[in-house]
Structure 1
Amino acid sequence: MKASPTDNRHLQWTLMRLQQLEVTNQKPAAIQILPNNLECNSINYT
């Protein structure tokens, strides 16, 4: 089954959306779990 350009765009959008959710979900968790560990927090922010 060959994916159409529309399917590819939708997949790319879904991946982008998941990455955004991952980033927004990770940042508060990293701050809560490691409030004093700047090195670990900076890794999560990059």
Structure 2
Amino acid sequence: MAEQRPYPSDLSDARWELIEPVLTAAMIQVEMIDLMSHRLTGESTPIWRDT
């Protein structure tokens, strides 16, 4: 199998180290919003995501 070349938009390991904590924090925030929305409304997905 041929070696896979990276896409021009791929991040280097050094840049990924800088952005990973920010993305992880954002994903945690989204999960918290989903959980709170579910507890308040009983729906599994917030309505604003349906659009």
Q: What TM-score range do you get, normalising by the shorter chain?
A: 0.5 to 0.7
Tell which has more relative contact order, 1 or 2 (C-alpha 8 A, sep 6+): 1
Bigger radius of gyration among the two: 2
Structure 2 stretches lacking a partner, 5+ long: 1-9, 43-51
Structure 1 stretches lacking a partner, 5+ long: 31-46
How many angstroms apart in 1 are the aligned matches of 2:33 and 2:18? 22
RMSD: 1.2
Name the TM-score, length of structure 2 as normaliser.
Answer: 0.51
Pairs aligned (count) = 30
Provide the identity percentage: 3
Name the TM-score, length of structure 1 as normaliser.
Answer: 0.55
Structure 1 stretches of 4+ with a deviation exceeding 2 A read none
